[in-house]
Chains A and B, each alone.
Chain A
Amino acid sequence: MRTAHVRFTLDLYSRRRTALAAALFVAAGWFATASTAMALAPGETVAEAIQLGAVHIPLPAGQWVVAGVGKQTFDMPALGAYGAIQSAVLLRIENEAVVAVLEANANAIPVNDGWGRAKSCTGPHLHLITRYKSGWETGCQFVEVSNFGPNAVGPTAWERARAFVEAKKLTMPRTWLTAGFRASDRQDIVDARFHFSPALFAMNEAADWTAEAIAADPARHAAVQALIGWTSAYDASIERGLRNQAIEPSPMPNLAAYARSAPLLDAKLAALDRLLREGRISQAEYLTQSKVALTEMPVVSPPTSMFSNAVRKNLSFRSFGTFVDYGIAYIVTANRAISTGIALTINSTDSVWFVMNDQYWDDYYARLNTHDSERVVDFVYIGVGANS
């Protein structure tokens, strides 16, 4: 917190700094979080979206059954007062068979200073996109093949879901095509994994679902590509859920118009079309923003240059800086040889200082601004166990 200027002392400001930060940052927690956090009832049928903890989680179109709710055995005091990590397992049931499983985790109470990274956002996966990754936020999506059956271990919510499956005498496959999402901001975290039966894509679950086998089989490859397309589109719904914004139902991945390569872009362009039709933006604004929309979706890419940013910057700086150094030296000495010697010596020594100085401050500010970058926040997942 930075108080630029306080003309008079508010009562609140007389507390010590940490208390002030905390007190000022109510973080919206006491408005609509804990009271609705455990609203899901086992056996209940839900559609469109659920409220889990402090956020909404969208559901693909259709009826989902709440099979288990609980909380994670998760403890990380450094995060602050988040209450608990609440979990829910929802099932999509068709003809006495479970064809899709949603395992979702979210915080009960908003925090103040962000969450952390997820191992699942680093791969390896069949598909992985990290939308953003900053000190206070993480946004990633992935697609992978999961293997778990009704006897698999998992979080409390899954244990209850297993009992539900057994009581209802439901069948379920052991191989799943999983679309996972992690989104967190300064206050909240959503970790949602949709597990889809290969049968939804008219595929045999008993087939070989290794990456090599998928690549070699056009049918399995098409099924995975379909899920990847759906995942990319569904990402926007997860983001809206993190902000508790209205979410329009999306179709199940096997029914989605997954052939589109850029569903998010299409949605933004459609929205701009509507604003233009309603006369809320001009033709010029429409054209400008339609062009901007083509490039606005962030994707974090690791640096690929063989030179660090500091080295490349130094090369740029020296390319004209050496001539300036020569000029300064010549003004004082009026001697070309000495001026050349000074310029070249400075060129060599300053390059070392430049790179060291640049890297030091970049690291310093990176640590300052991405203070939680090393903090991994993972939960217990179905069939995975504790992996945090």
Chain B
Amino acid sequence: VILRLLLLALLLCCGQVRAETLARGAVVHGILAVDGKQVVLPAGDWTVAVDAPNGWTNAGLGAFGYIRTIVLFHLQGTRIDAMLEINGNVLPTADGWGMAADCARADLIVAVVRYRAGWDGSCFFVNHTITASESQPAWRAARDFAASNGWRFSTTWLTAGFRAANRSDIVDARFHFAPEGFGIAAEPVGAWARSAWISSRLDSDPARLALAKAVGDWAVNYSTLLDAGLKNRLTDVQVVAMPDVRAAGKVEGLIEHRMAELEAMRAGGAITPLDFETQATALRQSGLGSSSTAPDIGSITAVKALSYRVIVSISHLFVDYYWTGNYVAAGALEVLQITINSAKFYFHELAWAKYVGIPRGDAARTLDFAYMGAGI
């Protein structure tokens, strides 16, 4: 029995942690396997600059081992024309992760939440990243590695960020593209807000606008690949190009891909012509269905507080006047009750949700790791 116990423990153990860390300087391409997930790399060789713990901790999410940060360089001669920073969990958890705060920002070039619930989510964004100074250990190590090899490192990057998460795993991938690689001059700024890549400044800058649009189009396509990688659906036949300004606007016909898949099933006899027609019609008319999102607990609480306050304020008017018999006193009471009790209600609701009540796991949460250029 003891031998069986040990054998099963060994089998289960080895199934959980398979990947080893990547050696600095190693060259990877195609599909990168990362702790039970896949990340597809755009065409070309990518050099491993860093594979280290992110340093992020949150015991509330379960025993995830650690958040692993991998930094890859894509070289064009001696210039780093693209970098990829990947953050992901090493061990699977049981109760979900969360979305990236950048996906909900309103001041970026693009920010799209495809779906979001308590346990899963998918989103992407396009932003610019400043690396004039870098405080994160992983990124210091990446810069040192680049410097030791004599590779040139841009200070401003156009970033396409992606987040895909389900109940057990999370992948956060951020591609940083050097504008110099697209013929746009380097930008010597030290703060995010002073950059010419601020979305509101792009209208007057056709070159930057074109690149931003190309990266946005590219991000639409790539986000689906990240989702596929989270469920290990990628195959080696998939080739992903780097963003191309000349190809801007050529977003893949994803509905057409799905339609072709249905057609292949019909041709192979896996579904009947009637099934095909029914599903193809649904696909044409309404796509693949809705992609719903779950509100966060703060929004739910605010809605509750507002509706409750409207109802009880009307009720209090009568109660206050009944007991005081005075319009002024009733009015003063009403004002105080609205202001004090609204705050009381809101914070009690939040405290209850967090510490006492039935956990609302379907209230989506936001979580972020340490990223390159964050806070600059």
Interface on A for B, CB 8 Å cutoff?
1-8, 10-12, 18-35, 37-38, 54, 71, 75, 77, 79-84, 86, 108-113, 131-132, 134-137, 185-188, 233, 236-237, 239-240, 243-251, 255-257, 259-260, 263, 266-268, 270-275, 280-281, 285, 288-290, 292-293, 296-298, 303, 309, 312-313, 316-317, 321, 324-325, 328-329, 331-333, 338, 341-342, 345-346, 349-350, 353-354, 357-358, 360-361, 365, 368-371
Contacts and interface: CB of A to CB of B under 8 A. Distances in A.
A243 B232 contact: yes
B261 A8 contact: no
A82 B11 CA distance: 34
Given A257-B5, A280-B21, A338-B324, A353 B287 contact: no
17 contacts: A2-B116, A5-B107, A5-B111, A11-B251, A12-B220, A18-B290, A29-B261, A75-B278, A83-B279, A111-B289, A244-B233, A266-B9, A267-B15, A285-B66, A313-B352, A321-B341, A321-B348
Contacts of A328: 333, 336-337, 340-341
Nearest to B299: A365
Contacts of A82: 279
B292 A321 contact: no
B13 interface: yes
B9 A18 contact: no
Contact of A21 (B199, B231, B290): B290
B51 to A, nearest CB: 10
A10 B291 CA distance: 19
Interface of B: 1, 4-5, 7-18, 21, 36, 53, 57, 59, 62-66, 90-91, 93-95, 103-120, 122, 166-169, 199-200, 202, 209, 212-213, 216-217, 220, 223-225, 227-228, 230-235, 238, 249, 251-255, 257-258, 260-262, 264-265, 268, 270-271, 275, 278-280, 282-283, 286-295, 300, 303-304, 307-308, 311-312, 315-316, 319-320, 322-324, 329, 332-333, 336-337, 340-341, 344-345, 348-349, 352, 356-358, 361-362
A84 B283 CA distance: 14
Contacts of A346: 312, 315-316, 319
Given A346-B319, A350-B315, A280 B65 contact: yes
Contact of B288 (A81, A137, A360, A368): A81
A11 B231 CA distance: 28
A354 B279 CA distance: 45
B251 A250 contact: no
Nearest to A357: B308
Contacts of B264: 34-35
A365 to B, nearest CB: 6
Contacts of B249: 10-11
A4 B104 contact: yes
Contacts of A255: 4
Nearest to B315: A349
A21 B62 contact: no
A248 B12 contact: yes
A48 B334 CA distance: 70
Closest 10 CB pairs between A and B? A22-B287, A28-B228, A270-B13, A267-B12, A26-B224, A244-B232, A248-B15, A271-B16, A293-B63, A289-B63
Given A33-B261, A317-B345, A245 B36 contact: yes
B65 A316 contact: no
B113 A4 contact: yes
B265 A271 contact: no
B111 A268 contact: no
B216 A10 contact: yes
Contacts of B224: 24-28
Given A4-B104, A8-B213, A267-B16, A84 B271 contact: yes
Given A18-B286, A132-B119, A371 B292 contact: yes
A30 B258 contact: yes
Given A113-B290, A328-B337, A23 B106 contact: no
B65 A259 contact: no
Contacts of A32: 233-235
B111 A3 contact: yes
Nearest to A251: B8
Contacts of B230: 243
A136 B117 CA distance: 9
Contacts of A354: 308
A346 B291 CA distance: 42
A361 B216 contact: no
Contacts of B62: 292-293, 296
Contact of B357 (A71, A111, A280, A313): A313
A162 to B, nearest CB: 21
B23 to A, nearest CB: 14
Given A289-B59, A346-B316, A37 B307 contact: no
A111 to B, nearest CB: 6
A238 to B, nearest CB: 12
Nearest to A317: B348
A134 B362 contact: yes
Nearest to B106: A5
Given A25-B114, A132-B95, 6 more contacts: A24-B112, A289-B64, A296-B95, A303-B358, A316-B352, A342-B323
A281 B288 contact: no
Contacts of A22: 254-255, 283, 286-289
Contact of A247 (B10, B15, B17): B15
Contacts of B362: 134-135, 365, 369-370
Given A80-B282, A260-B5, A280-B21, A38 B12 contact: no
B288 A25 contact: yes
B312 A353 contact: yes
A324 B344 CA distance: 9
A375 to B, nearest CB: 13
A108 B270 contact: yes
Contacts of B286: 18-19, 22
A323 to B, nearest CB: 11
Contacts of A131: 94
B268 to A, nearest CB: 7
A25 B291 contact: yes
A8 B53 contact: no
